[in-house]
């Protein structure tokens, strides 16, 4: 029996999760996976590089939907994904995370009565102003099967009366980090301002900040950059396309001394894994990088007002901070203790559980 699986992705954390699950699906007889890329991350360094280095099958289609407001983007994706699902007639739709791509695919599948599996279900920030929170709640409530990365996520689903369709799978990002750490590559960094090669220092901090609340105004971004300028080693800061123009303008302003910050182009996943494993500390507003820092035992400061992964907020390993020099430096000064017996994200075999669940659901249709 052949089962057709449509995997919908749109952002780089989804590519990482999809990679390890896709490799398992390839080994299951009768499973045929088609990857649909919404185009939400359109930059080559944010998208195509990941497919190449993770050996993910090329997407059957790239919808090319990016830009605009959350509503505009989601609406265009919903329309395009509905057409793809009607044409390709998948037996099951596989979704990851909490992006606009996730929500659009969930709505399209639900309206067409196609079973769907949501990986990373039950994650909650309890912040109504966080757009991803809306995406993940709506997706969980229309999905057919919910797979939780942690026991806390599973408990959140129980509280929302979703226990009957929920189970713990573990985190596929943990699978990926364990596997790709052995393949990680020392990055070839390129300066974002002048396009020239940048040498990776022997000691460095790794920074990724791109959310609107941290980079949307000069005041917020300058608070972050002031903190990075005061560190005892250079900060490697791959700049997201969203705030590239602002960073370049501030970096070229003669009144600002950001010589301690290495503003570079976005890096690939294998390069990022290398930076995570070798950094003195990590400063980020990315949910994925928080987890990777936790996996690596590297202290993390998260520049957000809310907890994304409370499982990492233990033993001083991940501390919240506001985008100000004082708040970030205070968070970074909290000592951490790494307990190797604390493994909230599973045993590194989540991909197998996810793949088997998807195929079983498709076969029952």
Residues labelled catalytic = 210
User: Distance between CA atoms of 290 and 328, rounded to whole angstroms?
Assistant: 15
CB 299 within 8 A of CB 281: yes
Residues 6+ apart with CB under 8 A from 93: 5, 6, 7, 8, 85, 105, 106, 109, 114, 115, 116, 117
Task: Using the structure block, give the residue that is written with the tokens 């606009």.
Answer: 100
Residue 31: beta bridge partners?
3
Which of 205, 213, 39, 21 has the alpha carbon at shortest distance from 118?
21
* Tokens standing for residue 142: 């229309």
CB 196 within 8 A of CB 226: no
Residue 33: beta bridge partners?
5
C-beta neighbour count of 284 within 10 angstroms:
24
User: Could you tell me whether strands 61-62 and 189-190 are parallel, antiparallel, or unpaired per DSSP bridges?
Assistant: unpaired
- Burial tier of 257 (Cβ tally within 10 Å: 0-12, 13-18, 19+): exposed
């Amino acid at each position: 029996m052949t089962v057709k699986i449509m995997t919908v992705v749109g952002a780089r954390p989804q590519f990482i999760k999809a990679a390890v699950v896709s490799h398992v699906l390839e080994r299951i007889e009768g499973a045929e996976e088609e990857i649909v890329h919404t185009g939400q991350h359109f930059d080559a360094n944010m998208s195509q590089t990941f497919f190449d280095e993770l050996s993910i099958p090329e997407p059957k289609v790239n919808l090319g939907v990016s830009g605009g407001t959350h509503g505009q983007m989601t609406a265009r994706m919903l329309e395009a994904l509905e057409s793809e699902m009607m044409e390709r007639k998948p037996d099951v739709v596989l979704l990851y995370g909490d992006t606009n791509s996730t929500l659009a695919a969930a709505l399209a599948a639900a309206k067409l009565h196609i079973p769907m599996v949501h990986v990373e279900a039950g994650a909650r920030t309890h912040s109504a102003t966080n757009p991803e929170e809306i995406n993940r709640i709506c997706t969980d409530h229309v999905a057919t099967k919910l797979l939780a990365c942690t026991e806390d996520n599973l408990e959140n689903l129980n509280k929302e009366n979703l226990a009957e369709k929920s189970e713990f799978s573990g985190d596929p990002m943990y699978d990926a980090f364990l596997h790709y750490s052995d393949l990680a590559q020392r990055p070839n960094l390129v300066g974002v301002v002048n396009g020239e090669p940048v040498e990776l220092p022997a000691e460095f901090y790794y920074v990724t900040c791109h959310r609107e609340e941290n980079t949307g105004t000069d005041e917020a971004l300058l608070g972050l950059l002031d903190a990075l300028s005061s560190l005892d080693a250079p900060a490697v800061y791959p700049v997201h396309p969203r705030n590239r123009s602002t960073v370049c303008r501030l970096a070229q302003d003669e009144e600002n001394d950001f010589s301690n910050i290495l503003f570079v182009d976005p890096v690939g996943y294998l390069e990022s894994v290398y930076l995570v494993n070798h950094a003195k500390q990590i400063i980020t507003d990315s949910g994925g990088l928080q987890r990777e820092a936790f996996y690596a035992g590297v202290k993390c400061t998260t520049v957000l007002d809310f907890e994304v992964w409370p499982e990492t907020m233990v033993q001083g390993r991940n501390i919240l901070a506001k985008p100000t020099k004082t708040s970030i430096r205070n968070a970074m000064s909290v000592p951490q203790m790494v307990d190797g017996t604390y493994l909230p994200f599973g045993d590194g075999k989540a991909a197998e559980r996810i793949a088997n669940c998807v195929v079983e659901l498709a076969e029952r249709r």
